[in-house]
Amino acid sequence: MEGRIPLLGEKFPEIEVQTTHGKMKLPHAFKDKWFILFSHPADFTPVCTTEFVAFQKRYDEFKKLNTELIGLSIDQVFSHIKWVEWIKDNLNIEIKFPVIADDTGRVSGILGLIHPGKGTNTVRAVFIVDPQATIRAILYYPQELGRNMDEILRMVKGLQISDKEGVAIPANWPNNELIGDEVIIPPATDEETAKERMKQYTCFDWWLCHKKL
């Protein structure tokens, strides 16, 4: 249904988009990769400019995690191109990831990026999508608040570790107040396993066990 915010665990919708790198079909363009689609309210605006610089500064770190970036706003593609040029000419930062031109608002409608109470521009949304094209995390920020890219990077790292190791990631990981950079063992679902957990791992109790990676 157009305008409905997609839910965690759903497949990312199949959409053909026009970008600064040409036409792309999502999610197929990032086959076998993680990707982050993030929307911004408008080109040539101060907070969005700081965000693009911040994403680009971490682009290599994202790529090491097999993760691509793709931006989006309802500006036309020529506006994106001129803005990216401005960033390069004035801030000496080359934006290497593509930016979707959603001037018809079609993509924003599909992904639920227009929140009428916050104006007619796209809000600052973040979709983290895994190599199976499953939406793993969604963040929404208001127009007046810029995103924390280190947190988005942390989320990708945490999700990948959770998938690989079958563990859960504690608050503020890798600097958790209780267990530092360790990870959490999912709680046991029967008595026998609960007893074994206490012998096998370091535990506060049978339902809160943790280990080093």
Which are the catalytic amino acids?
A: 48
In b/e form, how buried is each residue of 167-176, taking b as 16+ CB within 10 angstroms? bebbeebbeb
Question: Other C-beta atoms within 10 Å of 6: how many?
Answer: 16
Sheet of 183-185: strand order equals 183-185, 208-211, 202-205
Q: Dihedral sign, CA of 54, 55, 57, 62?
A: positive
Tokens of 92: 């000496």
Q: What is the DSSP string of 41-105?
A: S-TT-HHHHHHHHHHHHTHHHHHHTTEEEEEEESS-HHHHHHHHHHHHHHH-----S-EEE-TTS
- List Cβ neighbours of 144 (8 Å cut-off, separation of 6 or more): 47
In sequence order, what are the beta bridge partners of 141? Answer: 124
Rounded to an integer, what distance in angstroms lies between the CA atom of residue 47 and that of residue 62? Answer: 21
